[in-house]
Structure 1
C-alpha cells in the first residue's frame, strides 16, 4: 500500500511547484472540497498536498488526473500543457484559470439506452470539465445552458462512440435539419440526428446504418421532450 511522505529539504522546491499544479486542479474542480470528493482523496490528505507539506504517491496523482482530465505529464513534471487543447497554465494563478475557463457540470446520465432522467436544478454534478470562455463565445454557447452526459451504445457510430462525453446545449430545443439532439421518449433518453422531410414529418436517424430510422409526425412530436442539441463530443483516441 502506498503512503505519502513528508517533504524533505532537497525536495521542497519541486513540491512547491507540484502543489501549485494541484491547486490549479482544485480551481478547475471548483474547490478543494470538490476535488477531494471527485478524486476520492480524504480532505485532510489533499490539504497536505495543496500546502506542499507531503508528497503524493502515484495512486493519488492518478486519481487527480482521472477526476480532472489534466495531462499526467503536466501534473507530474510541469512540462507540456495542462489540457488537451494545448493551454499552458504553469504561469497562471487559480483566479486566472477560473477567468479563462468555464467549469461545465457533468452528470452520470447515459443517453441512447435505458431509462434516464435529466438532472434536476439542485442536483449535484459528479464532475466538471473546463472549457475556454473564448471557445464557448466563438460557438455561441452560454455556460448556464450547458451540461455533460455520457453516450451509451453504438447506434450513432462512427460519430458518437460508446461512453463518449456529450456537451448538450439545453437552450437549443427547436429541431434543425442535420443536427444531433438528445430526446426523451417513453421515459428513455436517446441521441439522434434530425432530418426534416417534405411532408413536415421528422426523421430521427442513427448514423450507424444497421439501426432503423424513426419517422415522427408533427402531432407525435408533442409526446417527445427535446432536451437539447449536442454541441461537442469528447472522444478517446
Structure 2
C-alpha cells in the first residue's frame, strides 16, 4: 500500500467520524454512543492495518475464508472480528471458531450449530438477529412477526449471546424515507427488550444512510465504501 493510499484511508476515517459525531449532536445522541464497524471485505490486510493504526479495532467480513486469512495475517493486532455475511450451514464451525460477533442470524438451526461449535473457554459468540422489514425474497432475515419466537429460542442456546437486532433496508434517497425502516427496527427492539435481555445493539446504517440510522437509535453503523473507497 502506497503512502497516498494510506493517507486516503486516514482522511476518510476522519470524515466518517465527523459525520457520526455531527449526527449524534443533531439528533440528541450522546457523544460516542455509536460504534463504527469498518466493513473490510475484499480489502487487503494492509488496509485494515492502516485503519487500525488510525484507531479502528472492529472489522466486518462477509466471506469466511477471506476473513480467516486476514485474521492470520493480522494476528498481532487486538481486533474484534464481525461476520456480516450470509450464514451457510457448512461454514458455521469456522465462524464459531474465528469470529467474535455474527450479524445476520435468522435461523434457529444456525444458532444451535454456532453455539455447539463455539470453542470451550471462549466467550459466547455475540449475535444480532437479522430482520427482513421489506419482505424482499432476495434478502435474508426473519419477518417481524417471527422475531419474538426466534429471539426466545435463540436466547436459550448455550454458546451464543443475542445482543440485538440488525437490518438491511431497501435503498432510499431522502432522510425521512431512510429513517422509516430504522424506526421500525427500533420499535421491534423496544417491544422485545427486557431488563435482563436489553437487546442493546442496533446494527443498522451504512455509508449512504448512517445519519438516518443514528437518528433512530443505531448503536453500530457498518461502513465500508466511505472508509476504504469503492470496492474492486
Pairwise TM-score range, normalised by the shorter structure: under 0.3
Report which of the two has the higher share of strand: 1
Using structure 1 for the length normalisation, give the TM-score: 0.26
Using structure 2 for the length normalisation, give the TM-score: 0.26
Report which of the two has the higher share of helix: 2
Of structures 1 and 2, the one with the larger relative CO (CA 8 A, separation 6+) is 2
